[in-house]
Chain A
Amino acid sequence: MSAAETLSSAVRADAPPAISLQKVNKWFGSLHVLRDVTLDVALGERVVVCGPSGSGKSTLIRCINRLEEHQEGRIVVDGIELSDDLKALDAIRREVGMVFQSFNLFPHLTILENCTLAPIWVRKMPKRQAEELAMEYLTRVRIPEQAAKYPGQLSGGQQQRVAIARALCMQPKIMLFDEPTSALDPEMIKEVLDTMVMLAGTGMTMICVTHEMGFARQVADRVVFMDRGEIVEQGVPQAIFENPQTDRLQLFLSQILRGH
């Protein structure tokens, strides 16, 4: 309880939103996957997105760094509007880190090289400095001793922590997580969640798609529930989990709880 309070004090509601989506619509062919999604995320805010499979959660956060293009509405990230302008896109991708469900580490590079690649080639950081930075983040996710290994030699939990460190090495202002623990064996979920809790403690702006309710309760300032491409309900974790207003959320929560 007190931990959640100290964490939420990091939110700076007065500053302009870090991410702002207004009436965003997206279709895959004829499939309408995002319907009038409006969402503001304040600087330092931690938002957990949940919802049934296929409800458009991944699509939503992938639109934020334009891995998917939206067709209607406005998305403003860190004061820059997403458009076809490549300069703007580069600027946004430099500030937004992303962690995928399937890690997506580069298998032909060592752990250290995975982490130094973007700082060296995108931020133009000298190699030595990039390596020091990478070791610092690898230490923070508690696997500095694996730096010389290749991704294939690590467990799933370790790989996901490397993926987090790799994103952090770009020193982003915003971190996006797309079900970071869904591909992991149960005994490895905790080590990754612990890393994310640690990150939340640093005041990072985070949007996290996850069904880990414990994590949401501990860390989230806000939980957003999506279904069929719409934001159905949102609020503080306690309100969402203990006092759902809509039938859809009630159904979803009962399924999640039965599943666990």
Chain B
Amino acid sequence: MSITAENAAKLPADAIARTAPRRLIGPLAWSRENMFANWWSTAITLALGYLLIRYAVSFVDWAFVNAIWTVPQTAAGLPDTTACREAKGSGACWAVITEKHRFILFGTYPFDEHWRPLLVCLLFIGLYVVSAMKRFWRWELALIWAAVLTLIGVLMWGGVLGLSFVPQDRWGGLPITLILSTFGLAFAFPLAILVALGRRSKLPAIKAICVLYVELIRGVPLISLLFMASVMFPLFLPEGMNIDKLLRAQVAIILFAGAYLAEVVRAGLQALPKGQYEAADALGLSYWKKTGLIILPQALRLVIPPLVNTFIGFFKDTSLVLIIGIFDLLTAGKTAIIEPMWQGFGVEVYITLALIYFMFCFAMSKYSAGLEREFNAHRNR
């Protein structure tokens, strides 16, 4: 009797503690379900698997087994690439990288001074790593940036502290790519935020300028902007005055990236509910405090994926400067294989260049995914 009374107070007998239905998990169960569910699924899996393995095997053969890593020197002291030519088609000639990697990375920078651009690249990477860490997100970070960028300038140019002077037209390779993209995004991003805010301004003049800027810049290809910067712009300068070619390209890239990023930021601003603006207003926050403390932190979080997408795009687009004769990483790679003995080994060089670009872009993409997950952890509104 007492037992029934107790049970009645709880749940009906058939409702008590059932475990969730078990799902088959693990790679074996997964593949049985997705790859070998029926006969034609199995057939396709096997056919594709065969092609995949065959292709992978021949790639490994080409890239590693039959590859030639170094070549001997001729009597004249030049590399002897006969071995590479014989292996062509069946084995990669990584010797071109072994021989030419310093030229690809640093271009025509004086050979004995290569430690300087190398240090510059390491400084850039260090700067990215420090900036990526949340615990360094304080205003002092701006000082670190200023200091490191100055140091990078000193190292590249020299002319002080006993460093020999290296004119800008001898710079090349990876440092150029990193300089163009880092300075480019560091200036374009704040510019983009201002333009995005300006486009939503109540003041008609500011709004008009911002709309005009975005539409004009977006309406032309980056290549034509670069041409304008390198060919047309000097025509308007007073005689004798000459602004550095790299600087002109840099400004073109900043303006171009700024217009695209502005539209991304604007999308974030537009996605915020009106109530957020009103709550900030009602608390008496001024326009800039409202924007800096309430609006931008939320708007930028919303657009992390498209923002990083644009960042990655621009990192790669800096390679377009090759058309105005600036010696970035890609140009250096192309130039490395102009010499007769290395002609025909473009694939190896381009694979290497692709890997370098990929490492930077993949790091950006991974980092943004982590950032997004962290920021949106408590956004279950």
Contacts and interface: CB of A to CB of B under 8 A. Distances in A.
Given A67-B278, A100-B275, A108 B297 contact: yes
Interface in B247-288: 273, 275-276, 278-286
Interface stretch (B9-17, B350-358, B373-381): B373-381
Nearest to A159: B381
A106 B282 contact: no
A90 B287 CA distance: 11
Given A117-B293, A150-B378, A152-B379, A106 B276 contact: yes
B285 A122 contact: yes
A199 to B, nearest CB: 17
B285 A121 contact: yes
B245 interface: no
B282 A67 contact: yes
Nearest to B378: A150
Interface stretch (A91-99, A131-139, A212-220): A91-99
Contacts of A96: 282
Contacts of A90: 284, 286
B289 interface: yes
B381 A152 contact: yes
Contact of B279 (A94, A104, A152, A170): A104
Contacts of B298: 106-108
B102 interface: no
A107 B276 CA distance: 9
B294 interface: yes
Given A100-B275, A100-B279, A152 B286 contact: no
B378 A93 contact: no
B282 A93 contact: yes
Contact of B284 (A93, A108, A149, A152): A93
Interface in A77-101: 90, 93-94, 96-98, 100
Contact of B381 (A65, A98, A149, A151): A151
A255 interface: no
Interface string B291-311: 001100110010000000000
A107 B381 contact: yes
Nearest to B274: A104
Contact of A106 (B286, B289, B294, B375): B294
A94 B284 CA distance: 6
Nearest to A176: B282
A118 B297 contact: no
A152 B375 CA distance: 13
Contact of A153 (B293, B294, B378): B378
A22 B380 CA distance: 44
Given A117-B293, A121-B293, A107 B379 contact: yes
B284 A104 contact: no
B281 A102 contact: no
B267 to A, nearest CB: 18
Contacts of B284: 90, 93-94, 118, 122, 170
Given A90-B284, A170-B284, A152 B289 contact: no
B300 to A, nearest CB: 10
B377 to A, nearest CB: 9
A78 to B, nearest CB: 13
A90 to B, nearest CB: 6
Given A104-B276, A108-B298, A108-B301, A152 B380 contact: yes
Contacts of A107: 298, 378-379, 381
Nearest to B289: A121
**Residue of B284, B289, B379 with most chain A CB atoms under a 10 A cut-off:** B284
A154 B218 CA distance: 44
A98 B293 contact: no
Contacts of A117: 283, 285, 293
Contacts of A167: 282-283
Interface string A96-129: 1110101011111000000001100110000000
18 contacts: A90-B286, A93-B281, A96-B282, A100-B278, A104-B276, A104-B278, A105-B279, A106-B298, A108-B298, A108-B375, A117-B283, A118-B283, A122-B285, A151-B381, A153-B380, A167-B282, A170-B283, A170-B284
Ranked nearest first, the 3 interchain pairs of A and B with the lowest CB-CB distance are A93-B284, A104-B279, A150-B378
Interface of B: 273, 275-276, 278-286, 289, 293-294, 297-298, 301, 375, 378-381
